[in-house]
Amino acid sequence: MKRNLLAALALASSTMAFAQVPQVPMIEHFTQASCGPCASQNPALKTTLDNFSNGGGEYVKISHQVSWPGTDPMNAAYPDGPEVRRNYYGVTGVPNTCLNGGTPGAPNTIVTSSTLTTAAAQTTPYSITVTQTWQDANTVDVDITVTNTTGSAVSDADKIYITMYEDVVDYGGVAPGSNGETIFYNVMRQMYTTTGSTTNAEDGSALPSIAGGASENYSFTISSLPSYLFDKAQVRFAVYIQNDANKTVHQAAKSTYSTIPGIVNVAASSASTAGAGYCDLAFNPVIEFTNNDAGTAITDIVAEYSINGGTPVQETVSGINLQQGQTHTINFPATTLAAGTSTVSYTIVSANGGQPWSSPNAVAIPDEVYNKLNANGTPAPVMETMENATLEAGTGYSRDLSTAIFDADAALTSGVFGVLDGPTYNYGQIGGFGQSDRAIRVRFYSIQSGTMNLTMQKINMPANNSTLAFDHTYKQYQSENDQLTIYVSTDCGSTWSQVFQASGSNLATLPASTTQYNAPVAGDWQANTVDLSAYDGMSDVVIRFEFQSAYGNNLFLDNINVDELSSVSEEDAVAFAIYPNPASDNFTVKLDESTEASISMIDVQGKVVASQNVAGQSSTQVDVTALAPGIYTVLVSSENGVATKKVVVE
């Protein structure tokens, strides 16, 4: 009897010593900074993971920032890892997610409270520990142990993957892509082999069979950190082991934060103020510098700012004793902004005589953009076709219009609200009526809510029959009521009068659709005219296009023209617009409706120098390459009557 009891105790002891352990769920998240659906779905994924963690669950997550559908500086910094993992799982669209190497799918379908709980309830013979130890601000040791917790050899996992990631990448309120996201979590920054090499690290390292109760140990030192890290204080390491054939992840682990010698935890932000409205150019530059470090006092600070890349203005603060939790206000001399667009850049040059922070981004202050109107109005006619806007480097986007300024929340980048160049993205001629490459795109499809303004520079209106003409196309998303409103101000934006409004189906030029509207074609467009005769002869008139998102579909705007309405021979005479004006090679005559008409060009001597017919069309191009520079009269004749306009040939 005693012998049997001892045998049972021995068996129990053996079972306890060699037992499988809970599996840590491993999430691989495929996302992108210019992906609209990513911006709408990623917050729910984070909430699910936060709730799981707050409930005592442990998980490992890596975000792979892929290369499409648009701009993503995190992918540009390190494209290899995301691309290899994307191909490994066959991911063809974002957002997407894999859980423990399973079939990829929509993030909030694959990762839920239920699926995480189920995954965490699984057991595995593998246990992983990973630690990071900083030698100094530029050198980190990584130690990894993979243990077989059972009494029998295991070889289920044959690959080990090691990833450096940043827990939080915070762009300080300025979206790096076009979808409005400014904060990114668990971003893959680099992959390593078990020797610390980055060569072919994306393919993983071989994991041998591990004997019962045995361990595989890996240690290496990283002394050359990626230059694109946002903040070394956010760096962690994730390790997961996987079966290369069936892709099953058998275990995962992540390191915890560790102290970085010589690093001081500080932060900075702007508290600047600018004059109200579009015409007050007063500016008071201010920086708030905060010491969050328990062990180091801040005794001196050097900071500076510049406007539109001009000569920096520097301020030195000395003789202070800034302790943990205290903030010092750095006031620069008051100044004025320039008319037009001013971009203010801030820099913390040093503190305590050096730069003792984990990364320049730790004290980075987002640029601020202030839009002010020009001092004097431009005489009408004023025409904006978007074709001369300078594109931002590496993109097909622009906010560089001499006739108007874009005014929106900093998170709404030019890719969301700005001029779009169709050929850059293989969209073709997306301009009004398919006759040019560019148009303003208002990407309601990616904007959950918010208001954006396109404010025209001051205009000195015509003496008679002032008219605003513009072209637009818009497709609803189901029944969402995105809205376009046009206002006019005669006191530089202190007060506004509404002259046009349309929303939802009244704004739409096409049937509703649940597919994002990216590339309008000629037949999508609608011409619009707004009577502004109430402002005849007035100077410094400001016109504002206001776009209000209901999270619907995209709107395109082109060919904004402020001019005198054509003189007519009878009440119902034909109305038309001319653009561009002045013209060099050709210009477009756009009628308010498709009709049969004749077009004649008359020089200052009254001689007809060119003519052509329009049959069943709303617009046509007129070639002026053979004409001498000068002012010509364009006469349009149709069954509705006769109208004329002036055009300048350069």
d(CA 93, CA 215): 38
**Mind listing the pLDDT tens digit for each residue in 495-545?**
999 999 999 999 999 999 999 999 999 889 998 889 999 999 999 999 999
| Stretch 108-122: mean pLDDT | 97
Q: Is the pLDDT of residue 462 over 50?
A: yes
Spell out the domains of the chain, with CATH numbers in brackets.
24-254 (2.60.40.10), 266-372 (2.60.40.10), 378-564 (2.60.120.260), 567-649 (2.60.40.3080)
d(CA 302, CA 313): 11
d(CA 57, CA 49): 9
> Residue 502: CA atoms inside 13 Å, Cβ hemisphere, count?
15
By CB atoms closer than 10 A (0-12, 13-18, 19+), residue 354 is exposed
* Position 568 confidence tier, pLDDT thresholds 50, 70, 90: very low
H or E element: which one contains 263?
Answer: none
- How far the first Cα of the chain sits from its last, in Å, is 113
Out of 72-76, 257-261, 529-533, 562-566, which region has the weakest mean confidence (pLDDT)? 562-566
* Position 294 confidence tier, pLDDT thresholds 50, 70, 90: confident
* Position 180 confidence tier, pLDDT thresholds 50, 70, 90: confident
Q: Is the pLDDT of residue 132 over 90?
A: yes
| Stretch 354-364: mean pLDDT | 86
Out of 22-31, 75-84, 375-384, which region has the weakest mean confidence (pLDDT)? 375-384
d(CA 613, CA 624): 15
Task: Find the angle CA(323)-CA(324)-CA(327) to the nearest 5 degrees.
Answer: 75
**Mind listing the pLDDT tens digit for each residue in 10-51?**
444 444 457 999 999 999 999 999 898 898 899 999 999 999
Q: Is the pLDDT of residue 487 over 90?
A: yes
**What is the Cα Rg of the chain in Å?**
32
pLDDT, residue 344, reads 96
Out of 143-152, 200-209, 388-397, 507-516, which region has the weakest mean confidence (pLDDT)? 388-397
* Position 454 confidence tier, pLDDT thresholds 50, 70, 90: very high
**Mind listing the pLDDT tens digit for each residue in 250-273?**
999 999 988 898 899 899 999 999
pLDDT, residue 208, reads 98
d(CA 85, CA 93): 13
pLDDT, residue 605, reads 55
* Position 607 confidence tier, pLDDT thresholds 50, 70, 90: low
* Position 350 confidence tier, pLDDT thresholds 50, 70, 90: very high
d(CA 431, CA 46): 39
**Mind listing the pLDDT tens digit for each residue in 84-104?**
999 999 999 999 999 999 999
Strand partners, 333: none
| Stretch 355-375: mean pLDDT | 88
* Position 585 confidence tier, pLDDT thresholds 50, 70, 90: confident
Q: Which tops the pLDDT comparison, 15 or 66? A: 66
pLDDT, residue 117, reads 97
pLDDT, residue 172, reads 77
Percentage of residues in the chain with pLDDT exceeding 70? 95
**Mind listing the pLDDT tens digit for each residue in 164-173?**
999 999 987 7
* Position 9 confidence tier, pLDDT thresholds 50, 70, 90: very low
pLDDT, residue 573, reads 61
| Stretch 76-83: mean pLDDT | 97
Q: Is the pLDDT of residue 608 over 80?
A: no
Mean pLDDT, the chain, integer: 90
d(CA 209, CA 401): 64
pLDDT, residue 17, reads 53
| Stretch 610-623: mean pLDDT | 82
By CB atoms closer than 10 A (0-12, 13-18, 19+), residue 454 is buried
pLDDT, residue 499, reads 94
* Position 590 confidence tier, pLDDT thresholds 50, 70, 90: confident
| Stretch 56-79: mean pLDDT | 95
Nearest to 442 by CA among 531, 575, 514, 545: 545
d(CA 232, CA 128): 23
pLDDT, residue 200, reads 96
Nearest to 556 by CA among 511, 590, 525: 525
Q: Are 83 and 49 in contact (CB under 8 A)?
A: no
Q: Is the pLDDT of residue 417 over 60?
A: yes
Q: Is the pLDDT of residue 642 over 80?
A: no
Q: Strands 542-549 and 450-456, how do they pair?
A: antiparallel
pLDDT, residue 569, reads 40
Q: Strands 126-136 and 123-124, how do they pair?
A: unpaired
Residue that the structure tokens 């205009």 belong to: 459
pLDDT, residue 14, reads 42
d(CA 331, CA 285): 6
Residue type, 52: F
Phi then psi for residue 126, to 5 deg, are: -100, 140
Q: How far is CA 613 from CA 125, 601, 622, 638, in A?
A: 83, 12, 10, 10
Task: Find the angle CA(447)-CA(344)-CA(34) to the nearest 5 degrees.
Answer: 25
Taking the CB of residue 427, how many other CB atoms lie within 10 A of it? 18
pLDDT, residue 183, reads 94
* Position 135 confidence tier, pLDDT thresholds 50, 70, 90: very high
